[in-house]
Every structure is written in structure tokens, then in C-alpha cells.
Amino acid sequence: MNGMNMKKYPFLCMILLVSVLMSCAEKKPGAEDAAVVETDSLRSADSVAGAENLDDELETQAGIYDVRDVERYWQKRTIQVAGDKNDIVGLFEAFNAVWPTKEGNSIVRATNPSLVQGDYYPGKPIIDRKHGFVESPYGEKNGKASAAVQACVWNRKNGHKLFAVHGGMYDDDIQDFAIFYDYDPAKKLLTPEESPLKKENQLFPDQRPVLYLLPQEGKSVYVREAGSIVFFEDVYSFDGQNLRFVGIDPGSTHDMQRMYEEEDLDDVHGKLAKFALIDIDGDGCEEIWTRTEDDEDGAIFGFEDEGCISFIIAESEGKRPSFGKGWVYVGFPAGGPSYFSQIVTVSDGHKTHTLTDFQVEEHHEYTLDGKDVSEAEGKKFHDSVKGEGKKLNPKWHKMVFMFDYQ
């Protein structure tokens, strides 16, 4: 789906089919290896509302936090890390001692079972000290895999570390989140840090992302957004100090590049570098208009059933298309007194008909869907396309190939 390598990202595949992190709604156990320090840093209404009553509210529960409480209240507490354990295992053990979940307990049980208090999910977690990554086995709800948690760490240029935890829940209330800490080795302290994953970088900032994916290898974090038909990946890459936004992968990017080069009539093809979401046929589902690095050429694509990429039309260099309701028009001089134009009609995310017109002075040579037709037939189809074409000025987004950022 969307060009994603499912064998390389089994966690992502599983999350899309089922869920992330089950509801546990319980109290944290005592933490011998991690002390809790209250903090007012980075306070927000959503994250700390009622946080002062958190422990009182959980006093009658059974020793494990509900993941919803972790997301709501995690910014309220800094975490002291015991001893010299400052790799991914040590940092996650400290985090889970303060914010224990069944998924987190499953990881810690594999690294230091003496620290585990309360329930855990059976199974084999991923413990990758070399690459700074851990992942729990999948929890289970009603006989189906439905929960997991990830964490990773990057070394910062200033000697600190950036520590991230991803968790979520897929039950009646879908919830997925990523949280970040700065680790100070001198103070041995994990301090909540404002997320580098910004809403203003999203295609749909009013919607909650579907999934956050932390890397086991590489330096990039992907934030998955849901469009009407396909998913989009917001890509962030670690620059040595923090995660920086590098662009959005609209899916099937390599196929788009290939189709554009095959279908484009120009001799030189650039790399597709930006895209905009448009709706040509007014069905509420987006088509994608892509353009090259020099902003001189491009192509338009749609998505058919199940998200399959569909080529619609290529621009001519320097000549932007015009749009009508359910159709796209491209035209350009073809040398001397001749002119070439093309009209493509669009329905349900794919082109339905293509009319080409090679005009020399007053004479027209038409093809319809690749077959020569008479001038009368060509004009009849041309006249059937209703409305005046307009130039669009959509919002453009930087287009990246997510596998260039691993």
C-alpha cells in the first residue's frame, strides 16, 4: 500500500490492520530505579488538565497506566535515570518505571525482569541496543493483535540525547501518539520536550494523524495521515540535534516519476519535487498535481480503487493546464502555424477519455482514446465538455521519496 515495504515495516503493516495499545487504566507501581520530578515545563491545556489529581484518580486501580493517561500527562514529569544506563534500554526502563504499561512491561521483562511490576503481554519484543530501538510484542484484544509500543534514541551534537516513545490505542477511541524527551547525561535527567512533529507541516492539520513510525534503523520518523483514498507520509529526518521536516511522500512516488517520464512529450524530464491536492471531478476525493524542481513541467495523477495510482495527463514545459469540472486541458504551439492540444475527462480518480487535436491553421486532426476520428466527431466530443477552463493556484507541498530518508 502506498509504495510501503511491508516486509521491512511489519509493525506499520500490523497497525494498519488492527490497532495500537489497549486500554489498561491502572496505577503506576513503585519505581526503585527512576524518581519522579514534577515540572511545569511545556504545559498545555490538553496535556496537564487535571494532572495534579492523576495519582488520586488511579489510586484504586491495579498498577498499570492507561495509555491515554500517558499521552495526557507525560509532560508533567521529568524522569531521573538510575546509574550509568543511558542507552535505549536504560532510558526506556526509566520511562516505563514512571509510566508503566503492559506493552512497556513486556520490553523491560526482556531486559531486566526484576523491574517489572504488574501485567505484561507475552511474546518476544525487539531489543536493538546497536541501533537504539525497542518494540514490544503485540498485545491482544478479542483474540486479535491490537497493541504495541516503540522507543528509540538519537545522539545529539551537544552531548545530550533525543529520546522518543511511540504508543497508541485502537479500540473504540483510536489514539496514536509520539512523545519526546531531552536526556542530559550530566544530570541523568529525561526532560519532556516540545514535539518537533508540527501540525503546520501536515496536509490535514485539523485531523489527528493515523500513525507515528519510529525508525529501528536510519534517522527518519514518518507521520502517517489519511487522505480520502490513500495515506500520506510526513517525513522528518534527524539532523544531529533534532528532527527536521523534509517534506511529504504522497505514495507511489517512484511510479509517478516513471509514468511522468513515459507520458511526457518533452525531451527533458526533471524530478518531481512538489505536489498539490486538487479535486478535478468534484467527488470529494483528491487528485495529485505534481511539478518539477524548476517549476516548469509536471503531471497529474489520480487514485483508483484501493489506492492504485492512475496517470491522468502530463503538462507541456512552461504551459500549465487549465481545469474544468471533470476535465483538464493542455495546449501548446507545435511549430509554425500548428498547435497541439489535449483534453482529458476524469471520473473516480482516473481518466475516462482523451481527445487530442493537432491543428494546422484551420485544419484539425483528432484522436479520441488513441484512435483517429473525423473532424466532426472530434468537434462533437470537444463541444460535449462543458464549462470554461480555469487556472488553479493550489497550495503546494514539498514532495519527497520517503525511502531517500532512512
Mean pLDDT calculated for residue range 215-228: 93
- Residue 396 belongs to some domain of the structure: no
Rounded to whole angstroms, what are the CA distances from 255 to 3, 271, 308, 396, 402? 9, 12, 10, 20, 13
In this structure, are 35 and 54 located in the same domain? yes
Q: Which amino acid appears at position 65 of this protein?
A: Y
In this structure, are 104 and 189 located in the same domain? yes
As given in the structure block, the three cell numbers for residue 330 are 493542455
Of 54-63, 181-190, 261-270, 275-284, the one with minimum mean pLDDT is: 54-63
Long-range own/partner contacts, residues 237-246 (CB < 8 A, 24 or more apart):
237/405, 238/154, 238/162, 240/156, 240/157, 241/156, 241/157, 241/158, 241/162, 242/156, 242/162, 242/196, 243/162, 243/196, 243/197, 244/196, 245/196, 245/198, 245/201, 246/398, 246/400, 246/405
In this structure, are 216 and 268 located in the same domain? no
pLDDT of 231 > 60? The answer is yes
- Residue 369 belongs to some domain of the structure: yes
- Residue 395 belongs to some domain of the structure: no
In this structure, are 306 and 201 located in the same domain? no
pLDDT of 38 > 50? The answer is no
- Backbone φ/ψ region at 188: left (φ over 0), alpha (ψ -120 to 50), beta: left
In this structure, are 215 and 307 located in the same domain? no
CA distance linking residue 10 with residue 201, whole number of Å:
26
As given in the structure block, the three cell numbers for residue 320 are 500549465
pLDDT of 299 > 50? The answer is yes
In this structure, are 350 and 241 located in the same domain? no
Mean pLDDT calculated for residue range 134-163: 83
Of 11-20, 160-169, 381-390, the one with minimum mean pLDDT is: 11-20
- Residue 390 belongs to some domain of the structure: no
pLDDT of 264 > 70? The answer is yes
Given 249, 280, 298, the domain boundary residue is 249
pLDDT of 295 > 60? The answer is yes
Instruction: Label residue 119 by pLDDT band (50, 70, 90).
Output: confident
Query: Cα–Cα–Cα angle for 128, 243, 274, nearest 5°?
Result: 120
Phi first, then psi: what are they for 215, rounded to 5°?
-85, 135
pLDDT of 31 > 50? The answer is no
The residue ranking higher by pLDDT, 52 or 389, is: 389
In this structure, are 163 and 126 located in the same domain? yes
In this structure, are 222 and 321 located in the same domain? no
pLDDT of 54 > 90? The answer is no
Q: Which stretches of 191-283 are DSSP H helices?
A: 253-263
What is the pLDDT of the chain when averaged over all its residues? 82
Most confident of 136-150, 234-248, 317-331: 234-248
Query: Cα–Cα–Cα angle for 259, 290, 6, nearest 5°?
Result: 65
Q: Model confidence over 375-387: pLDDT tens digits?
A: 999 999 999 998 8
- Residue 405 belongs to some domain of the structure: no
In this structure, are 218 and 309 located in the same domain? no
- Residue 404 belongs to some domain of the structure: no
pLDDT of 105 > 60? The answer is yes
Most confident of 46-55, 56-65, 320-329: 320-329
- Residue 175 belongs to some domain of the structure: yes
Per-residue pLDDT, 123: 84
Given 228, 249, 270, the domain boundary residue is 249
Domain that holds residue 133: 10-249
Per-residue pLDDT, 245: 97
Per-residue pLDDT, 287: 95
In this structure, are 104 and 154 located in the same domain? yes
Rounded to whole angstroms, what are the CA distances from 287 to 92, 224, 279, 394? 42, 18, 6, 12
- Residue 4 belongs to some domain of the structure: no
In this structure, are 243 and 298 located in the same domain? no
Strand spans (E) along 196-335: 211-213, 220-226, 231-238, 243-249, 272-278, 287-292, 298-303, 309-314, 322-324, 327-333
Given 227, 249, 271, the domain boundary residue is 249
Per-residue pLDDT, 11: 47
Of 83, 66, 63, nearest to 24 by C-alpha is 66
Mean pLDDT calculated for residue range 329-357: 92
Tally the domains of the chain: 2
In this structure, are 275 and 370 located in the same domain? yes
